[in-house]
């Protein structure tokens, strides 16, 4: 969608350029300059427009970095959450599926499900979204 916002004005600009060249009698313009110079000017124009469009499309995005969250480990002890369960909770918060969590932590899919179920019961949640909401309320997640 973003490329459409760049390509559309680029195309309209090209159409306007063609219309302008027709308006000032393109053939009359070419009589004053040799064909090579005219083609060179058109090539320079398209090169400049291409560079402009390329810079617009490849602009780097600014990422705002939040201060690092430091977990108080006494909270884990208070709610009976193990380190591994907390790792699973963090990965759930990142939006990973059970299979992706298993691959990332090098554990089986059933182990991830076991840790998730245990987390849900300890946090009093039925779903991932409830667990994340409860973990944020308790200060376990930023």
Determine the pLDDT at residue 55.
82
Q: Give φ, ψ of 113 to 5 degrees.
A: -65, -40
What percent of the chain shows pLDDT beyond 70?
Answer: 85
Assigned domain for 68 exists: no
Q: How many domains does the chain have?
A: 2
63 in a structural domain: no
Q: Domain limits at 41?
A: 2-57
Helix, strand, coil share (%) of the chain residues, nearest 5: 75, 0, 25
Query: Please, what sign has the CA dihedral across residues 42, 48, 52, 53?
Result: positive
The closest of 78, 74, 69, 92 to 141, measured between CA atoms, is 69
Each residue of 106-140: pLDDT tens digit? 999 999 999 999 999 998 999 999 998 998 888 88
21-34 pLDDT tens trace: 777 765 665 566 66
pTM of the model: 0.52
Same domain for 81 and 52? no
Domain match, 78 and 132 both: yes
Q: For residues 76-92, give the mean pLDDT.
A: 89
- 80 within domain boundaries: yes
In a domain, 66, yes or no: no
Give the tokens for residue 139: 């200060």
- The reply to whether 65 falls in a domain is no
Sequence-distant (≥ 6) Cβ neighbours of residue 60 within 8 angstroms:
none
């Amino acid at each position: 969608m973003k490329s459409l916002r760049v390509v559309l004005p680029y195309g309209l600009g090209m159409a306007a350029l063609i219309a302008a060249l027709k308006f000032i009698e393109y053939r009359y313009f070419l009589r004053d300059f040799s064909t090579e110079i005219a083609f060179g000017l058109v090539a320079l124009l398209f090169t400049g427009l291409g560079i402009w469009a390329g810079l617009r499309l490849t602009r780097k995005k600014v990422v705002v970095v939040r201060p690092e969250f430091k977990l108080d480990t006494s909270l884990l002890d208070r709610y009976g959450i193990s380190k591994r369960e907390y790792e699973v909770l963090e990965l759930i918060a990142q939006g990973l599926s059970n299979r992706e969590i298993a691959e990332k932590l090098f554990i089986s899919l059933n182990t991830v499900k076991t840790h998730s179920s245990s987390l849900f019961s300890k946090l009093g949640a039925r779903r991932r979204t409830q667990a994340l909401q409860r973990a944020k309320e308790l200060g376990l997640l930023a």
